[in-house]
């Protein structure tokens, strides 16, 4: 199997399976709380956030590069009353007007986007003044021992997980893109110690 086929046909299914657990669902719910109005979701994937959209969400513009990911989201989109349209393939280059959305949501996608800083700047452009960015992501751990393993494992991770990085400093990326981080939480998800290179999570809101 070629890497292209792996990335296009296997990775979206593995991502859907690995990121829909109960614990992650609870964190998704907290991350989505406070979203309002017209929401830009970068990295829509298989629609795992859809069930957690609050009542204040009027519509969602979904940015998703994977056709299979979009296909897998179909049953979740069918179960919500929130209008969801696929508004593009590339979060780094949004064909959307300035100040056209009220909120932005990015979950488990900044790890994979080739230039996450560019995507965050694009979100800054598209979200109106006073709007909020909600982020849930895994990334660089605070413990040097875990970081060493993250650096060692990252080349393999990128090869088998669609370009996913383990060592990105998420709060720094958000701040450097012109967002002001208003609240943030960091913690390891539950699991054995051997999983720690993959499970250090960041949840933040920026404006």
CB of 112 closer than 8 Å to CB of 164: yes
Q: How far apart are CA 163 and CA 143, in angstroms?
A: 23
Any residues with CB less than 8 A from the CB of 49 and at least 6 apart, and which?
28, 31, 32, 41, 105, 107
User: What is the 3-state composition of the chain as percent helix, strand, coil, each rounded to the nearest 5?
Assistant: 40, 25, 35
Q: What is the CATH number of domain 3-206?
A: 3.40.50.150
Average pLDDT over residues 193-202: 97
Query: Which tokens belong to 186?
Result: 């960091």
Asked whether the CA dihedral 20, 23, 27, 32 is positive or negative, the reply is positive
Phi and psi angles of residue 130, each rounded to the nearest 5 degrees, phi first: 90, -10
Share above pLDDT 90 across residues of the chain, in percent, rounded to a whole number: 97
Q: How far apart are CA 45 and CA 54, in angstroms?
A: 19
- Is 3's pLDDT higher than 90? no
pLDDT value of position 12: 95
> Which H or E run includes 202?
strand 200-206
DSSP H helices in 103-195: 116-126, 144-160, 170-176
pLDDT value of position 5: 82
Query: Which tokens belong to 86?
Result: 């696929």
> Which H or E run includes 67?
helix 67-72
- Is 63's pLDDT higher than 90? yes
Average pLDDT over residues 38-56: 99
Q: CA angle 10-13-18, nearest 5°?
A: 120
What pLDDT, in 10s, does the model give residues 128-166?
999 999 999 999 999 999 999 999 999 999 999 999 999
pLDDT value of position 85: 99
Q: How many CA atoms lie within 13 A of 137 on its CB side?
A: 30
Average of per-residue pLDDT values in the chain: 97
- Is 1's pLDDT higher than 90? no
Q: How far apart are CA 201 and CA 207, in angstroms?
A: 20
What does the DSSP 8-state code read for residue 187?
E
Average pLDDT over residues 38-67: 99
């Amino acid at each position: 199997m070629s890497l292209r086929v792996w990335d296009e046909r296997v990775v979206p299914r593995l991502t859907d399976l690995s990121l829909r657990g109960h614990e992650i669902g609870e964190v998704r719910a907290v991350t989505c709380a406070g979203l309002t109005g017209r929401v830009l979701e970068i990295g829509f994937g298989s629609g795992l956030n859809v069930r957690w959209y609050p009542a204040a969400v009027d519509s969602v513009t979904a940015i998703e590069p994977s056709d299979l990911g979009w296909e897998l989201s179909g049953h979740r989109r069918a179960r919500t009353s929130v209008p969801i349209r696929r508004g593009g393939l590339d979060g780094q280059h949004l064909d959307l007007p300035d100040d056209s959305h009220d909120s932005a949501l990015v979950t488990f996608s900044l790890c994979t986007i080739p230039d996450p800083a560019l995507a965050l700047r694009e979100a800054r452009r598209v979200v109106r003044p006073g709007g909020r960015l909600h982020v849930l992501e895994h990334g660089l751990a605070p413990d040097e021992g875990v970081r060493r393993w993250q650096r060692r494992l990252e080349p393999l991770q990128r090869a088998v997980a669609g370009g996913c990085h383990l060592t990105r400093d998420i709060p720094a990326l958000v701040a450097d893109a012109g967002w002001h981080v208003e609240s943030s939480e960091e913690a390891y998800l539950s699991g054995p110690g051997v999983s720690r290179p993959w499970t250090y999570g960041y949840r933040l809101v920026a404006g």
